């Protein structure tokens, strides 16, 4: 009954932590492609190739359902995977869906025409690849009108988090928020469009100020996944145990993961 969680590195651990708390009886297999992180500066074809390789590994570990807990992979690879690569008995889901559901206050299956929503000015913080894909704006436009989205490519933040340099990560976040505010001085809401960014969520909130509602993905994804598994019980895979897999150095990745989640995490090599 295992479910796969994939990220280019450590960011997906924020999603893993939320889903394991929400569904403690479900085994989750986490795949971190740490040796190739960050994905946010790679080409779309490169991201697609790396993502499909990782998903196949999770299938081999008994996961028929895989969550791309990586906004870059969701933006650059997911649609192509679903249209031309995915076997009918498997499912791969991204992390944009729960976020846009929350922002527009409508269910994903609601195919009614786009309509006005309460939020008018949205700041999107994401990797360069996610920003250039415009995937968030495209999906949002299917469901809402009259929403102004200002995207800020947050170069260097993922690298600093992966390297454990949280002082640098905090400085970069504040710099990117300042850059966004020069383009959109008063956003109503802010989207943390990378699963690494919840590790810096309080820094984003402090820099943006109390008037800005910050949407972070981990809790939204956990509730959406729990609902999905109730509606699609056959997507529980055959895997029976939780494990952590990395393409990077297992010792280094384990140390960083343990520090971030404040509990011991042991990664196996791919």
Residues 122 and 195 in one domain: yes
Global confidence as pTM: 0.87
Residues 203 and 111 in one domain: yes
Q: What is the CATH number of the domain that holds 256?
A: 3.40.50.1860
Overall number of domains in the chain? 2
Residues 133 and 36 in one domain: no
Residues 21 and 92 in one domain: yes
Query: Which pLDDT score is estimated for 16?
Result: 95
Residues 170 and 198 in one domain: yes
Name the catalytic one among 57, 63, 70, 154. Answer: 70
What is the domain extent for residue 129?
Answer: 104-216
Residues 14 and 78 in one domain: yes
Which ranges of the chain does DSSP label H, i.e. alpha helix? Answer: 13-22, 44-60, 71-76, 78-84, 96-104, 128-133, 135-141, 157-162, 166-183, 201-208, 217-231, 250-261
25: phi then psi, degrees, rounded to nearest 5: -90, -5
Query: Which pLDDT score is estimated for 139?
Result: 84
Report, in this order, helix, strand and coil percent for the chain, each rounded to 5.
Answer: 50, 15, 35
Burial 117-129, CB ≥16 within 10 A → b, else e: bebebbbbbbbbb
Residues 128 and 212 in one domain: yes
Q: In the listed set 216, 231, 257, which residue is the last one of a domain according to the structure?
A: 216
Query: Which pLDDT score is estimated for 100?
Result: 85
- Blockwise average pLDDT, block size 10, the chain, 270 residues: 92 93 95 93 94 97 96 92 94 88 76 86 94 89 91 94 90 98 96 90 97 90 90 88 96 91 93
Does the annotation count 57 as an active-site position?
no
Does the annotation count 70 as an active-site position?
yes
Name the catalytic one among 57, 63, 154, 194. Answer: 194
Cβ–Cβ under 8 Å, residues 118 and 57? no
Residues 130 and 229 in one domain: no
* CA-wise closest residue to 157 among 32, 245, 37: 37
Residues 155 and 243 in one domain: no
Q: Which residues pair with 3 in a beta bridge?
A: 28
Distance CA 134, CA 54 (A): 24
Cβ–Cβ under 8 Å, residues 204 and 197? yes
Residues 89 and 223 in one domain: yes
Q: In the listed set 174, 201, 216, which residue is the last one of a domain according to the structure?
A: 216
Residues 224 and 196 in one domain: no
Residues 141 and 60 in one domain: no
Query: Which pLDDT score is estimated for 236?
Result: 84
């Amino acid at each position: 009954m295992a479910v796969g969680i994939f990220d280019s590195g450590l960011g997906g651990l924020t999603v893993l932590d939320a889903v394991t708390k929400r569904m403690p009886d479900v085994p989750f297999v986490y795949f971190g492609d740490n040796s190739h992180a960050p994905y946010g500066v790679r080409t779309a074809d490169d991201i697609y190739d790396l993502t499909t390789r990782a998903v196949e590994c999770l299938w081999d570990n008994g996961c028929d359902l895989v969550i791309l807990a990586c906004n870059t992979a969701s933006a650059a690879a997911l649609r192509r995977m679903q249209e031309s690569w995915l076997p009918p008995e498997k499912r791969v889901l991204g992390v944009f869906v729960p976020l846009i559901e929350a922002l527009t206050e409508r269910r994903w299956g609601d195919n009614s025409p786009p309509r006005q929503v309460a939020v008018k000015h949205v700041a999107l913080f994401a990797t360069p690849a996610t920003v250039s894909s415009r995937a968030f704006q495209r999906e949002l436009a299917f469901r809402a009108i009259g929403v102004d989205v200002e995207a800020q490519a947050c170069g260097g933040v993922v690298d600093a988090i992966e390297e454990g340099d949280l002082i640098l990560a905090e400085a970069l976040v504040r710099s990117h928020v300042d850059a966004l505010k020069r383009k959109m001085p008063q956003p109503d809401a802010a989207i943390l469009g990378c699963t690494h960014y919840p590790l810096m969520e309080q820094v984003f909130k402090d820099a943006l100020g109390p008037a800005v509602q910050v949407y972070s993905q981990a809790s939204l994804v956990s509730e959406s996944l729990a609902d999905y598994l109730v509606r699609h019980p056959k997507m529980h895979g055959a895997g029976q145990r939780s494990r952590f897999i990395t393409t990077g150095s297992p010792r280094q990745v384990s140390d960083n993961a343990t520090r971030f989640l404040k509990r011991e995490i042991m990664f196996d090599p791919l």
